[in-house]
Amino acid sequence: MTNNNQSDRRRNSLWRYQLVLWIAALPIFAYTFWLAVRHRQFRYLQQRLGFGCPPRRESVIWLHAASVGEVLAAEPLLKALHQQYPKLNMVVTTVTPTGAQMVRQRLGDQAIHIYLPLDWRSAVRRFLNTLRPRCALIMETELWPNLYQACARQAIPLLVVNARVSSKTLGTVGWIRNLYRGALQHVTAILARSQKDADGFRELGAAPDIVHVVGNIKFSAAKPVAQVKPITLPRPFVLAASTHDDEELQLARLWLAMQPRDELLVIAPRHPNRSNNIVRQLESLSVKPAVRSRNDKVQADTRIYLADTLGELTGFMASAELVIMGGSFVPVGGHNLLEPAMLSKAIVFGPFMHNFTDETAGLLAQQAVIQVDNYEQLRRELTELLQDHAKRQALEERAQQFMQRNSDMLQRYSSAISRYCQLPDE
């Protein structure tokens, strides 16, 4: 009787979900149309509705990466699968145009990009009927009830890769919680990044035997120094990476007050399209930044350099004296520390790192990074690190050792995917 009640609740939740989608259909279509016009991409509208997919190919493996961060995390895995199984046709879906741009930039002709269809049954059906993938890989946390159900109906193995679950998702109640539970019944395997995430998925309703702790795939996304082309500037610099609104202004004030010897502060915003606004904020401090997108040269009196370009962050990290991680001094939740750690960089960040708790805890436990509570503490740490080469070198070495202990992450995921997906012969 209990199983019947749970099944009834899941069906009722799915029915409510369909009703919500039907009521919201017109606003969803209007917003999708607006985004297509804004980005001048008619295929965005087409593919979000399930149309306009490339002609069907044999041996397709499909990976969904919501946006830029997930694409970067999945890049090494896709390249490894492509090398191991050259007959595979890789298809990557995203929901954002910036994600699409990153797929083209990082994967080139190794993968076809398509926009993920809206979670409408008709759109999902058209998408899967055209694509016919051997296997579906969903990066991190994307629970789409109609998509998951359609994959199960077509006997497409569906794996959640680098699976993570937030406290917000775990905090859902009522019919939405039952909706998640129902969606997870259609998943073949959940490859979790940590024991905490594995426990969270079981709590959310996943069958215990399909949940496996593999580890954080972002360890494999961090590129060793030998694979990175450094971006050099005429003077040594400190990099503020992936900054958000207000961080640029506060970091610039701090930097101007520090009076460093010859170093520059390079600001690489998370969203380069904010460049004009950032320049106005910096000019309010009576400082004229050199702007990379304008090909400005570093002059003798240049104090701040704005790296407002896409895809060059790793190159700047490779050449930096040390790295300040943005998104950690405002309640954004921080950004990935593993990439600068792989590059053996001294890393400093603020109090808000809740999106990367496992990585942060691991690096802090090894005394490989420095976390500060505010900008005043940051100023003191920066001053000391720029003056004390031995302290900076110790952080660099411990960060490198931490990364080396997790260097087999790519092999772990490749092996797990091979077990569940019906891949062609090599």
Q: Which residues are catalytic?
A: 70
Helix (H/G/I), strand (E/B), else coil: 269 = strand
**CA-closest candidate to residue 195, choices 208, 178, 176:** 208
> Tokens 């900054």 — which residue?
243
Residue 221: what residue type?
Answer: A
Tokens of 424: 């062609």
Is residue 237 exposed (0-12), middle (13-18) or buried (19+ Cβ within 10 Å)?
A: buried
CA-to-CA separations, 22 to 16, 27, 130, 271, 295, in angstroms, rounded: 10, 10, 24, 33, 49
Number of Cβ within 10 Å of residue 186's Cβ equals 16
Strand order in the sheet with 60-64: 111-115, 89-94, 60-64, 135-139, 158-163, 189-192, 211-213
User: How far apart are alpha carbons 78 and 130 in whole angstroms?
Assistant: 21
Angle at 375 between CA 167 and CA 68, to 5 degrees: 45
Number of Cβ within 10 Å of residue 384's Cβ equals 12
User: How far apart are alpha carbons 154 and 152 in whole angstroms?
Assistant: 5
Assess contact for 82 and 88: CB atoms under 8 A: yes
For residues 98-118, one letter each, b for 16 or more C-beta atoms within 10 angstroms of the residue's C-beta and e for the rest, the string is bbbbbbeebbeebbbbbbbbb
